[in-house]
Amino acid sequence: MSPEEILAITPRILTREQREFYFREGYILLPGVIDAAWLERLRAATAELVERSRKVTVSDKVFDLEPGHRPDAPRLRRVSSPVDQHPAFWEYVTSSIMPDIVADLVGPSVKFHHSKLNFKWAAGGEEVKWHYDIGFWPHTNYSPLTVGTYLYDCGMDQGPLGVLPRSHEFEPLLSQYGPDGKWTGCLNQADVDRLDLSKAVYLTGPAGSLTIHNCRTLHASPKNLSDLGRPLLLNTLSSGDAYPYTINPIRSPHDQSIVRGTAPARSHHDPRPCPMPPDWSGGYSSIFALQQGERDGAVM
């Protein structure tokens, strides 16, 4: 559906001004919209996963570990597919107001793609370099978006998500392969140098805030230099008529589940091309490992 068609539908949660802002700028920040009851459940589920990670010594398909992770001092970079690791995370995708908000931005049919729980551990949690999401998992259209949920307050010192407004309109999409032809999962430095990063917006907010960015929107996040950790729950969803061209790098049994509305009878294809990623059929670890050059992003 086009933005005009979506705007013609009565919204569930968002105002017209909020929806127009998202379509124009490629992102939106919704401060404190998730209530305390959901935050309590998500925090408790996150704490259970951190506790589980104490028994893990090497990064695997679920836990991506920072160097220096120890049983007595866990340091996580990511939990992949938390919706499969604790029921609270999938209930959040299906039963909170979050998917209603997504329906206001992609149309009444909303499809789940994947989830991840990214950590920026206190005192040095790693940066994420400038990149597009859609290059990791191209779809038939550009409706996919990622919703970030701040489980705790997030200020500038905690390494918040940063976005480049209106970059979702850039044509063509920039490459995320290095000069040697290897996938890097981020823009080449020469392309970054041509961006006007003075226009970047860093999305700080209190616990319960949602950050939403379109799959074509350039985004990054700085290191966490504070003494507070920053867990960020990320869920990627799309319109029901968007279908992936490639294997889901963080595939869940819930992949392609319709969480709002009903499945459309037809797919929608955007004519704008999208660069293709590597073959993820062997699995995928995390953007942290990839961008830090530890390995190619595939599960070893």
Summarised one tens digit per residue, pLDDT across range 124-166 is 667 899 999 999 999 999 999 999 999 999 999 988 999 999 9
Distance CA 182, CA 28 (A): 32
Question: Could you read off the pLDDT of 67-112 as tens digits, one per residue?
Answer: 888 888 888 889 999 999 999 999 999 999 999 999 999 999 999 9
How high is the pLDDT of residue 284?
64
The per-residue pLDDT for 145 is 98
Would you state the pLDDT for residue 227? 80
- pLDDT of 298 higher than 80: no
pLDDT at 228: 79
Q: Supply the mean pLDDT for the chain.
A: 92
Contact 26, 168 (CB under 8 A): yes
pTM higher than 0.85? yes
Name which residue leads in pLDDT, 10 or 126: 10
State pLDDT tens for residues 193-236: 999 999 999 999 999 999 999 999 999 998 888 887 789 999 99
Of the pLDDT bands very low, low, confident and very high (cuts 50, 70, 90), residue 172 is very high
What is the structure's pLDDT at 300? 27
Compute the average pLDDT of residues 48-65. Answer: 91
Tell me phi and psi for residue 158, to 5 degrees: -85, 0
Question: What is the reported pLDDT for 292?
Answer: 57
d(CA 32, CA 158): 17
Confidence of residue 119 (pLDDT cuts 50, 70, 90): confident
| pLDDT confidence tier of residue 269, bands split at 50, 70 and 90 | very high
* Domains parsed from the chain with CATH numbers: 3-291 (2.60.120.620)
The confidence score (pLDDT) of residue 120 equals 80
* pLDDT at position 245: 94
Q: Write down the pLDDT at residue 104.
A: 98
